[in-house]
Each structure stands twice: as C-alpha cells, then as structure tokens.
Amino acid sequence: MGVPFRTIVVYVDGSEGALSAIMYAILLAKQNQARLVAAAVVNTKALGELVRAGIFVDVEREEYQRDLQSDSERYLRHAERLAKQKDVPIETVKLEGTVNVEMMNLLKDRHADLFVLGGVSDVRSRREELASETDRMMRVAPCPVLVVRDDEDIWEAFESQGV
C-alpha cells in the first residue's frame, strides 16, 4: 500500500455515480502516474436468486445473462474511451459472481492501494442499506476506499483538464 497511489481500481456498473467515479479515478491515476484497473461484475448472484425465487424462467435467465454480459462490456468500453481521452493506460476486467466477493478478490490480486467507487445513494432505508452491494464492497475492501459523489464538478474537471 503506498501514497501516492500506485494501483487504483475503479468499479463500474453503468450508473451515473459510477461514471463520475471513472472520471475521478482517471484524473487521480494521471496525477499519481498510477496503474488504473476498471472492473465490472456480471451479477450472477442476483440472477441465481431470481431463478431460485421462481421469478425467472429458464429462457429468461439465459436472455438476461447475455444482457448482463453485454452491459458489463459496454461499461468497460466506455471506461476505456474516457481513459483514452486523457491518455491514461487502463486495464479492464470483467468478472462474474457475487459483486462484493469478486471485487474483494480483484483488489487483493492486483495489490490495489485505492478502491474508487460511486453510486452511493442517500441512505433512505435501513433494510436496503444492509443489502446494498456498494455498502458491502466498502466493508470488505482490503484497501482504502474513495467514494465519489455524483457531482457536476467532476464532469467539469474531467472536461477541462487537458491531456
């Protein structure tokens, strides 16, 4: 673990909060000359829960699995495009499984010294807070965590800072 950061991992999930997080992580990686890794997780745990609960029939499970795969690939391609805009090298990783478990393993595997994530909404329900993947990721991360608020300032900073 080091300061300035050497390896930054950012979680992407297609939310606006995650977009802010990617931009922030790219700027941070550039400033620190850090290695940047963007990761998306195909949430097969949630898919499994839906099949077990009887909400999805088999044909739906297959269809949604394909959709989730292509969503993740799209998020990662977008991260690559943003990083390229700032001339920052980026490694993209697509994982499958339980989001918090997969992210924890990746952080350990890459010896990350900073985990950046967005998409943290206001706590409006204790019930949901306990089940939130973001909350779990923050709890289990083996390194410092930076939570990026979805803020126009970040978008402006990203647009204004030159290559």
**Residue 85 or 125 with smaller CB distance to other proteins:** 125
Q: With binding defined as CB under 8 A, does residue 27 bind other proteins?
A: no
Selected binder of other proteins within 71, 80, 96, 150 (CB under 8 A): 71
Listed residue (77, 109, 93, 82) closest to 24, CA to CA: 82
Start-to-end C-alpha separation, the chain: 27
| CB 142, min distance to other proteins, A | 24
For tokens 């499984």, the residue is: 97
Listed residue (72, 55, 53) closest to 15, CA to CA: 72
Q: With binding defined as CB under 8 A, does residue 43 bind other proteins?
A: yes
Selected binder of other proteins within 21, 37, 38, 47 (CB under 8 A): 47
DSSP at 54: T
**Residue 20 or 72 with smaller CB distance to other proteins:** 72
With beta carbons less than 8 A apart as the criterion, state whether 20 and 148 touch: yes
Beta strand 35-43 with 90-97 is parallel
Q: Which stretch binds other proteins (CB under 8 A): 20-28, 31-39, 54-62, 82-90?
A: 54-62
Binding site for other proteins (CB under 8 A): 13-15, 43, 46-47, 49-50, 53-57, 59-60, 64, 67-68, 70-72, 121, 124-128, 131-133
